[in-house]
Chain A
Amino acid sequence: MKQTPLTAKHRALGAKMVEYAGFEMPVQYTGLVEEHLTVRSHVGIFDLTHMGELELTGSGALATVNMLSCNDASQLQVGEIQYGCLTNERGGIIDDILIYRTEQGFLLVVNAANTAKDYAWIKQHLQPETQLVDRSAETTLIAIQGPKSAPLVEEVLSLSVSGLRNYTFMEPEYKGVKVLLSRTGYTGEDGFELYFPNTFAEELWDAFLNQGEKYGVKPIGLGARDTLRLEARMPLYGNDIDDETTPLEAGLGRFVKLDKEFIGREAIQKQKEEGLRRRLVAFTMIDKGIPRHGYPLLSLDGQELGAVTSGTHSPSLDHPIGMGYVQVESAQPGTEILVQIRKNQARAKIIKGRFLA
Chain B
Amino acid sequence: MSEKRLYTKEHEWVVVKGSIARIGVSDYAQNELGDIVFVELPSVGDVVEEGEGFAVLESVKAVSDVYAPVSGRVVAVNEALEDSPELINESPLDEGWIAEIEIDDTAQVGDLMSEQEYMEYLKGV
Interface residues of A (CB under 8 A from B): 27-28, 31-33, 36, 223, 226-227, 288-290, 292, 312-313, 315, 318, 320, 342
Contacts and interface: CB of A to CB of B under 8 A. Distances in A.
Nearest to A226: B61
A223 B56 CA distance: 20
Interface string B18-61: 00000000000000001101101000000000000000101111
Nearest to A34: B35
B38 A32 contact: no
A223 B60 CA distance: 9
B63 interface: yes
A169 B59 CA distance: 37
Interface residues of B, number: 12
B38 A290 contact: yes
A288 B37 CA distance: 11
A342 B38 CA distance: 14
B59 A32 contact: yes
A33 B59 CA distance: 10
B60 A342 contact: no
A223 B40 contact: no
Secondary structure of the A contact surface, majority rule = mixed
B82 to A, nearest CB: 8
Contact of B58 (A33, A223, A226, A290): A290
Contacts of B38: 288-290, 313, 320
Given A28-B34, A33-B35, A313-B37, A292 B61 contact: no
A313 B40 contact: no
Contact of B60 (A32, A288, A289): A32
B114 to A, nearest CB: 28
A32 B61 contact: yes
Nearest to A315: B60
A315 B36 CA distance: 11
Given A290-B38, A318-B37, 7 more contacts: A28-B34, A31-B34, A33-B34, A227-B61, A289-B38, A312-B60, A313-B60
Contacts of A227: 60-61
A292 B63 contact: yes
B60 A33 contact: yes
A289 B63 CA distance: 11
Contacts of B61: 27, 32, 223, 226-227, 312
A33 B56 CA distance: 20
A27 B56 CA distance: 22
Determine which residue in B37, B56, B59, B60 has the highest number of CB atoms from chain A within 10 A of its CB, and name it.
Answer: B60
A239 to B, nearest CB: 13
A199 to B, nearest CB: 33
A292 to B, nearest CB: 6
B29 to A, nearest CB: 15
Nearest to B32: A16
5 contacts: A28-B34, A226-B61, A288-B38, A288-B82, A289-B40
A14 B37 CA distance: 23
Shortest beta-carbon contacts, A-B, top 3: A313-B37, A33-B35, A313-B60
Interface in B56-114: 56, 58-61, 63, 82
Contacts of A36: 60
Contacts of A28: 34
Contacts of B40: 289, 342
A290 to B, nearest CB: 5
Determine which residue in B56, B61, B63, B82 has the highest number of CB atoms from chain A within 10 A of its CB, and name it.
Answer: B61
A36 B61 CA distance: 12
Contact of A290 (B34, B35, B37, B82): B37
Contacts of A312: 60-61
B8 to A, nearest CB: 22
Nearest to B85: A313
A294 to B, nearest CB: 11
Given A32-B61, A223-B61, A312-B61, A342 B35 contact: no
A307 to B, nearest CB: 16
Contacts of A320: 38
Nearest to B53: A342
Nearest to B63: A292
Nearest to A319: B37
A200 to B, nearest CB: 31
